[in-house]
Structure 1
Amino acid sequence: MKKLALFLSLSFLFSTAVFAQATQVWIVRHAEKDKSNPQDNDPNLSEEGRIRAGDLARYLKKVKFDVAFSTSYKRTHQTLDSLVIQKVIDYKDAKSLIDSIKKNYEGKTVIVAGHSNTVLELIEAFGGKRPKEMLTDDDYDYIFHLSVKDDKARVKMDQYGRPHHL
């Protein structure tokens, strides 16, 4: 009887691990910011950026997000505003973000808004391969979809809205 109980327990644990769902992580850089005041360290989106934020909502219209993560800057929050997500959580660094998602949102669908100098690093931190060597200050139209399971991530890159590189 003990062997049967042990066998059933191990079978349950194994099947749970095998069938655990991957976490779906979408990563996007904030849309175009207003550059009219070079001294403003926290500008709003420009008119072009507001249009791109709407394009993001149209691109992701069939995706149901459980939560969104954003840096504390206005432009990252405003990029996500058109998605109408109930819960938006600020993050400060990649490690705490990754830890929070893996601990609290495993098997869920999340979106992260970052910056040109953080997006690719986030992909690597999730265990994915960098799909581009770098993002420039003018790269606003890329979006990355990661399917994360354990410490590995499959990465798909796409573009949305008006192509930035014509």
Structure 2
Amino acid sequence: MKKSLIFFFATFLFFQIAKAQTTEIWVVRHAEKEKSDSQDKNPNLSEEGKIRAGDLARFLKKENIDVAFSTPYKRTHQTLDSLVIPKVINYNNIKALVDSVKTSYTGKKIIIAGHSNTVLEIIEAFGGKRPRAELTDDDYDFIFHLTVKGDKAKVKMDQYGVPHHL
């Protein structure tokens, strides 16, 4: 009985500490993609996109990213290529992504590469408020930093690399 009680309290304490931890998440849209072949549904980054991917690495150079999440497209993976990340995990579903982060990566530093139509949804799924009404097909230079604690998220919007909006 005494061992069971100790185990229960140790488990409870562990979950309370994990719940109280802050998770830092950066969410970006993939960098500029090659548009020369309109039939290509999975294009590589353009030369401009490769430069932006390098800019992303410089922007986050002081952060020790623990894990990255990327859609299974070449352009999202290539956007993260310049970063030194121990693990890159594909995702297809935003809810499953959020569940995975909250279950297995609480207290870690994470980067998520998405698309113009998913970035703001990802922010909301983590409990943050949309910092912009929308992202257009021309918005490549925004990065969103979420500080997530439990079900609450603070969102900071920034820009990196050459401003796409001059």
Q: Same fold (TM over 0.5)?
A: yes
RMSD, aligned α-carbons: 2.1
Change in Cα spacing, 1:13 to 1:136, as seen in structure 2 (3 Å) is: same
Q: Distance in 2 between matches of 1:81 and 1:164?
A: 21
Deviation of 1:14 after TM superposition, in Å, equals 10
Aligned pairs, number: 160
Query: For 1:77, what is the secondary structure of its paired residue?
Result: helix
Deviation of 1:151 after TM superposition, in Å, equals 1.0
For residues 113-140 of structure 1, the C-alpha deviation after alignment (integer angstroms, 9 at most, x for no partner) is: 0000000000000000000000000000
Deviation of 1:150 after TM superposition, in Å, equals 1.1
* Corresponding residue number in structure 1 for 2:161: 161
Matched, 1:124 2:124: yes
Query: For 1:135, what is the secondary structure of its paired residue?
Result: coil
Q: Which amino acid aligns with 1:93?
A: N
Deviation of 1:13 after TM superposition, in Å, equals 3.6
Deviation of 1:20 after TM superposition, in Å, equals 2.4
Q: Which amino acid aligns with 1:46?
A: S
Q: Distance in 1 between matches of 2:18 and 2:77?
A: 36
Moved over 3 A (4+): 12-19
> Where does the alignment leave 5 or more consecutive residues of structure 2 unmatched?
none
Query: For 1:79, what is the secondary structure of its paired residue?
Result: helix
Q: Which amino acid aligns with 1:143?
A: I
Q: Distance in 2 between matches of 1:15 and 1:93?
A: 26
Change in Cα spacing, 1:109 to 1:40, as seen in structure 2 (3 Å) is: same
Give TM-score scaled by structure 1 length.
Answer: 0.90
Q: How does 1:54-65 map to 2 (within 5 A)?
A: 54-65=54-65
Q: Distance in 2 between matches of 1:18 and 1:72?
A: 29
* Corresponding residue number in structure 2 for 1:79: 79
Matched, 1:151 2:151: yes
Q: Distance in 1 between matches of 2:78 and 2:156?
A: 24
Give TM-score scaled by structure 2 length.
Answer: 0.90
* Corresponding residue number in structure 2 for 1:90: 90
Q: Which amino acid aligns with 2:120?
A: L
Query: For 2:148, what is the secondary structure of its paired residue?
Result: strand
Q: Distance in 2 between matches of 1:60 and 1:124?
A: 22
Deviation of 1:16 after TM superposition, in Å, equals 4.0
Q: Distance in 1 between matches of 2:51 and 2:102?
A: 32
Deviation of 1:84 after TM superposition, in Å, equals 2.0
Q: Distance in 1 between matches of 2:15 and 2:55?
A: 40
Q: Distance in 1 between matches of 2:26 and 2:15?
A: 27
Deviation of 1:17 after TM superposition, in Å, equals 4.5
Q: Which amino acid aligns with 2:117?
A: N
Contact 2:20 2:150 in 1 (8 A): no
Q: Which amino acid aligns with 1:39?
A: Q
